[in-house]
Every structure is written in structure tokens, then in C-alpha cells.
Amino acid sequence: MKDTRRTVSRIAQPVKTLAHRFAFVALVLAAVALIVLGRVDVASVEKARQQIVDAATPILDALSQPVVTFNHMVDEGRALLSVRAENAQLREDRERLMQWQAAARRLEMENRMLKGLLNFQPGPAVSFITGRVVADTGGAFVHSLILSTGANAGVRKGQAVVTGDGLLGRVASVGKLAARLLLITDLNSRIPIVIESSRVRAIMAGNNTDRPRLIHLPTGAVVSKGDRVVTSGHGGAFPPGLPIGVVSSVSDGGIEVQPFVNRDRVEYVRILDYGLQGIINDLPNAATGIRRK
């Protein structure tokens, strides 16, 4: 039996080698024939090629489905992990907001009770007029804007002008249809302020730069970088508590304030009317010695 197998193997081995050689030659001849046929009959070869592609496409699509499905499952898994992490963060934020809400309600109730005990009389309700900035007349020596609302809309000289970020300036002059806004950075701007944390009072003076300075501070006053600056309400020109900016630098050269509002990005403003008369309307009368009745 073993001899028979060896005999068959000896006979089959040359046959296999010869078959491989003929197969290689046949493939080369077939390739040459296809190249020649492609040169001679382009339409037939293109048609045959398209038929082969059409026949192979379903097979390739079936083979690619597991890969596509796996990639889709991986993407879904990543999305679920992201949603889970985001959900956990939202729950944590919600708990924190609920705590702040409870604290705010408690403080609101306490504030209401204390006002009742003190017989506190609240100030006049604030009203506002929305205006649009139509021109920037500023330059190296003037920091002002032109607003699209004037006396016909109820705008008056001295009213505070704010954005959603904070105080922008005050109305310097009013026409029937427009008004000129003097920015807090202008050289002629002087605003009574208070440091929110320490309650130190001072005057913020514009200097035609983007960083107005604090002047007339009390002796021994301590001001630190990062302190919030708000209006104090002194003089009746501005209501108290309007946010202005933060202390940006404290040095021997002075204390500079970085305003919250960037004048280059202002489009719409709110002109506040707190019903304050203050010193603005008294200045012309004081100059002539006439007092309003």
C-alpha cells in the first residue's frame, strides 16, 4: 500500500508542477488577450467590465456589512457614554441650581421681612428705552456714540446707558430724533463708584483709553486686582449698583479698571430712566442762579 502511494506521488508531483506552469502561462496569455481585445473592441470590454462589477457589488456589499455594522455599534456606544456623562453633569448642575434657588428664596423672604420692619420705601420703578448705535464719533480725543433715539422717544440728558454686560455711559446731549452718548472711558467722564467687596468709594475718571482710572480714594483704602466696580449712586446721576468693570491693575501709577462693555461690539443699548434728577439738571440753573420750583 505504501509503495502504491509513493508511486502515485511520484507521478502526481511532475503533473502538478507542469499544471502550475501552464496555468501561469495561460493567465499571462489571457491578460494579453484582454489587453488586445480592449484595444480592438472597447465597447464589448467596457460592457463586460460593468457586468462583472454589477455581479460583484452585492457580494462586496454583503462582506462590508459586518464592518459597517461594527463601526455603527462603536459609534452608538461612544454616543451612549457621552450622553451618560452629560446626563450626570446635568444632574449635578440641577442639584447645585436647586440649592441656589432655595438660598435665593430664603434670602428674598428675609429681605422682604427686614424691609417691612424698617418701613423701607423702594425707589421708583425703572423704565428703559431701547436704542441702536448708528455712529461712532470717537477717536483719539473723544469717546462717544450716536444713538437712534432722542427726545421724541423720552430720552433725556444724564440718563444712564447700559448693555447686557454693564454700564456704557450717559446721555450727554439730546435731539429730537437722536442722542449723543458719552462713554465711561471719555476724558470728560466722572462717575461715583464703589468697590463691591470692600465698599470703598471713589471716582472713576475716563482718560480716553480703554482703562479708566480710580481717583479720590480715601486714605488707607485697599483695592485689589479683580475687585468688581459698581456705581455708588452718589450725586443722583446714576442709580446704585450698576456694574461697570473689574480692577485690572494696581500700581504706583494708579488703579485701572477694565470695563465689562466693549464699545467696538455694541449694537443695541438700553437707556435707563430711574426718575433721577440728580446734579445733571441742576447744573444750568446753578450757573444762572435760578432754582426750579
Listing DSSP states for 200-256 in one string gives -EEEEE--SSSS-EEESPPTT----TT-EEEE--GGGSS-TT-EEEEEEEEETTEEE
What would the mean pLDDT of 191-210 be, rounded to a whole number?
92
Nearest alpha-carbon partner for 207 in 269, 257, 171, 132:
257
HSE at residue 89, side-chain half, CA atoms within 13 A, is 6
User: CB of 227 within 8 A of CB of 244?
Assistant: no
Amino acid letter, residue 208? N
Q: Which band of pLDDT confidence, cut at 50, 70 and 90, is reported for residue 276?
A: low
Quote the pLDDT of residue 13.
66
Question: Has residue 250 got a pLDDT over 90?
Answer: yes
Question: Has residue 281 got a pLDDT over 60?
Answer: no
Q: Is 45 exposed, middle or buried (0-12, 13-18, 19+ CB in 10 A)?
A: middle
Distance from the Cα of residue 36 to its chain's centroid: 66
* Bridge partners for 228 per DSSP: 246
Specify if 174 maps to a domain: yes
Residues near 162 by beta carbon (within 8 Å), at least 6 away in sequence: 168, 242, 261, 269, 270, 272
| 85, three cell numbers | 456623562
Specify if 27 maps to a domain: no
- Euclidean distance between CA atoms 184 and 178, whole angstroms: 19
Specify if 224 maps to a domain: yes
Q: What's the total number of domains in the chain?
A: 1
Q: What is the residue whose three cell numbers read 463708584?
A: 193
Nearest alpha-carbon partner for 170 in 279, 272, 285, 277:
272
Q: Which domain holds residue 214?
A: 127-288
| 217, three cell numbers | 480714594
Specify if 207 maps to a domain: yes
Helix (H, G, I), strand (E, B) or coil at 280: coil
Quote the pLDDT of residue 259.
95
| 155, three cell numbers | 430720552
Low-confidence winner among 13-17, 137-141, 223-227, 283-287 (lowest mean pLDDT): 283-287
Question: Has residue 65 got a pLDDT over 70?
Answer: no
Low-confidence winner among 57-61, 233-237, 287-291 (lowest mean pLDDT): 287-291
Q: What is the residue whose three cell numbers read 435665593?
A: 104
Residues near 178 by beta carbon (within 8 Å), at least 6 away in sequence: 134, 146, 147, 148, 149, 150
Instruction: Specify the length of the chain in residues.
Output: 293
In this structure, what CATH number is given to the domain that contains residue 218? 2.40.10.340
What would the mean pLDDT of 6-11 be, rounded to a whole number?
60
* Bridge partners for 127 per DSSP: 273
User: CB of 203 within 8 A of CB of 193?
Assistant: yes
- Euclidean distance between CA atoms 236 and 167, whole angstroms: 15
CB burial of 13-27 (b: ≥16 within 10 Å; e: otherwise) equals eeeeeeeeeeeeeee
Specify if 86 maps to a domain: no
Average pLDDT over the chain reads 80
Specify if 70 maps to a domain: no
Question: Has residue 24 got a pLDDT over 80?
Answer: no
Specify if 54 maps to a domain: no
- Euclidean distance between CA atoms 161 and 129, whole angstroms: 9
- Euclidean distance between CA atoms 27 and 198, whole angstroms: 93
User: CB of 157 within 8 A of CB of 118?
Assistant: no
Specify if 213 maps to a domain: yes
